[in-house]
Amino acid sequence: MNTVAPEVEWLSLAQKALHGDCLTLQEGLAVLEADNDELLLLMQAAFKVRKHFYGKKVKLNMIINAKSGLCPEDCGYCSQSIVSTAPVKKYTLLDKETLLSGAREAMARKAGTYCIVAAGKGPTDKELDQVVDAVREIRQTMPLKICACLGILKDEQAKRLAEAGVHRYNHNLNTSRANYPSITTTHTYDQRVETVEKVKTYGMSPCSGVIIGMGETNQEIVEMAYALRELDADSIPINFLNAIPGTPLEHAGRTHSIKALKVLALIRFICPSKEIRVAGGREVNLRTLQPLSLFAANSLFVGDYLTTVGQDISADHQIIEDLGFEIELNAL
């Protein structure tokens, strides 16, 4: 059996990515459907691209759930949605001091980016005032990059966030256009795209990613990667569904660890120069293979997520050290 051909094939995809050429649908499917025995060859090819753009540095991001459990949207994956019966904490937007305390915790964890996330379709003017006030003080007192994720924005809201000093705005595509109506009906896929385009207009760095494991086909995963490439988001969080009891997707199975790694390699090939972040659900889906994810991705969420618990920060720091990688401090 010839064991050289697969390596040449995967390295050829790396070269294609480095030259700025996009993978064909057939090539993308080949990545997702590769024999598991070829995993290390595939990850080595992805690492060739990752190393070209980011060396061995790892960006760390930390989330604060700034408003919880009061969302009128019906997103099937979310424990905070109106259709969820999951027993999550419910509270209005956190006060300024709590947001500042979260920023200090992000620094203690060596996170370069602090993400202020609030459940809801979009912020009220009062909520925006609170976020803007906190952002201004964080910018004046701490060397942190700030990302906001507050839902669908109006033009004036986007302008105010940018003027306050928000570096980045997150609004995920979540799934494919075709699969979107089966996941959410209270807003549209196009509204999400429009929000990402809007934040670009006001000078904020666009952040948009997906959730793997919500019934999408392999072809749809490739199409999701194409959509992210077209959107030209600077940062791409790749979440793997953590099926929470009480949500419509509570019975969805986990994404196999090796499949999750193939998805990360695919995104690296199709969006070669972008920050690719291993995000929600990584502990549950990647399990003991988490370290391999950093051969394709160059960024991690650290600490807890919105309503689920992440692993201890010391474990994340240990993974990075054991790989011979280094944390990129204060990195956007």
Question: Any long-range contacts for 129-133 (C-beta under 8 Å, 24+ apart)?
Answer: 130/93, 130/95, 130/96, 130/99, 131/66, 131/93, 131/99, 131/161, 131/164, 132/160, 132/161, 132/164, 133/96
Q: Give the model's pLDDT for residue 7.
A: 52
Phi, psi of 217 (to 5 degrees): -85, 170
Q: Give the model's pLDDT for residue 331.
A: 60
Query: Which residue ranges of the chain lie beneath pLDDT 70?
Result: 1-8, 330-332
Whether residue 254 is annotated as binding a ligand: the answer is no
Q: Give the model's pLDDT for residue 4.
A: 43
**Spacing of C-alpha 88 from chain mean position:** 22
> Facing residues of 60 across strands?
300
Q: How far from each other are the two terminal CA atoms of the chain, in whole angstroms?
A: 46
What does the pLDDT look like over 26-60, one tens digit per residue?
999 999 999 999 999 999 999 999 999 999 999 99
Whether residue 115 is annotated as binding a ligand: the answer is yes
Distance CA 227, CA 231 (A): 6
Residues with catalytic function: 71, 75, 78, 115, 147, 207, 277
Helix/strand/coil (H/E/C) assignment for every residue in 61-101: EEEEEEEECCCCCCCCCCCCCCCCCCCCCCECCCCHHHHHH
Whether residue 75 is annotated as binding a ligand: the answer is yes
Q: Give the model's pLDDT for residue 3.
A: 43
- At residue 240, the 3 state secondary structure works out as strand
- At residue 332, the 3 state secondary structure works out as coil
Whether residue 147 is annotated as binding a ligand: the answer is yes
Contact by Cβ (8 Å): 277, 301: yes
* HSE value, Cβ hemisphere, 13 Å, CA-based, for 249: 24
What does the pLDDT look like over 107-127, one tens digit per residue?
999 999 999 999 889 999 999
User: In this structure, what DSSP letter does residue 174 have?
Assistant: B
Q: Give the model's pLDDT for residue 2.
A: 43
Q: Give the model's pLDDT for residue 309.
A: 81
Q: Give the model's pLDDT for residue 307.
A: 80
- At residue 273, the 3 state secondary structure works out as coil
Burial degree of 170 (CB within 10 A; 0-12, 13-18, 19+): buried
How is residue 47 written in tokens?
A: 């690492």
Contact by Cβ (8 Å): 248, 83: yes
Strand (E) or helix (H) holding 39: helix 39-54
User: Can you list the domains of the chain with their CATH numbers?
Assistant: 38-325 (3.20.20.70)
Q: Give the model's pLDDT for residue 197.
A: 96
Q: Give the model's pLDDT for residue 8.
A: 53
Whether residue 71 is annotated as binding a ligand: the answer is yes
Report CA-CA distances (Å) from 219 to 9, 31, 35.
20, 11, 17
Whether residue 271 is annotated as binding a ligand: the answer is no
Report CA-CA distances (Å) from 330 to 42, 59, 111, 142, 223.
30, 8, 7, 10, 32
Phi-psi region of 309 (alpha: psi -120 to 50; beta: other; left: phi over 0): beta
Contact by Cβ (8 Å): 269, 52: no
